[in-house]
Amino acid sequence: MNSKRAFDLVFATIGVILLSPVLLGISVLIHMDSKGGVFYRQIRVGKNMLDFNLYKFRTMSVQLIDQNIPTSENPDSRVTKLGAVLIRYKLDQLPQLLNVLRGNMSLVGPRPELRKYVNLYNDEQLKILSVKPGIIDWASLEFSNEHELLDKGADPETYYIEKIIPTRIHQNMRYINDNNLAGDFKVIWLTINKIMLN
């Protein structure tokens, strides 16, 4: 087991244990807030181009969920009142600790994309898929208000492809070229600070 995997296992396990009351509380609130399951699964592309199920707390009305767009894209009419709070404070991402424990994600790494967006990558950009995707990364810090940006556009998907994806790729390539535990700790620390100041 390499140091990155050990880091992920230790901190994801601690996170699940410490946050178990929060996870349980959110699950109960989602169940009470709207019809449907507590969790939401979406197929994303992981390391070595392999698909996997990414887990989130459900933030949208079941009948309005679309598997073909990112869960943060243009959510205004789809997101429940509770879901809006979960998205704002990134609490909807917490179930991805289970992805980390299962081994298809890391705590820190490039955010996994839908395959239709990965298909837009060139050969150099596909190096992003040489590492496990993460719950947080440099791009998620830069686009912490991504859903608000997409909501302002006349065509959210075009905005996502033309404006957000290129910056995400740039930040992900930065991570690939300087991938170390010290950098991971920095991303985690900056993310915590960002959420606390939100």
Grouped pLDDT means (10 residues each) for the chain, 198 residues: 91 96 96 90 96 95 61 62 89 96 96 95 95 93 68 72 89 90 91 79
8 Å CB contact between 84 and 65: no
3-state DSSP percent of the chain in helix, strand and coil, to 5: 60, 10, 30
Domain ranges of the chain: 3-197
What's the residue count for the chain?
Answer: 198
Q: What is the CA radius of gyration of the chain?
A: 16
What local confidence, expressed as pLDDT, does residue 13 receive? Answer: 97
8 Å CB contact between 65 and 39: no
Q: Quick one: tokens of 42?
A: 């979406």
What local confidence, expressed as pLDDT, does residue 178 receive? Answer: 85
| Torsion sign over Cα 28, 42, 72, 14 | positive
For the stretch 97-103, contacts whose Cβ atoms lie closer than 8 Å and that sit 24 or more positions apart, written own/partner, are: 97/12, 97/15, 97/16, 97/19, 97/135, 98/16, 98/55, 99/52, 99/54, 99/55, 99/135, 100/8, 100/9, 100/12, 100/135, 101/9, 101/12, 101/13, 101/16, 103/5, 103/132
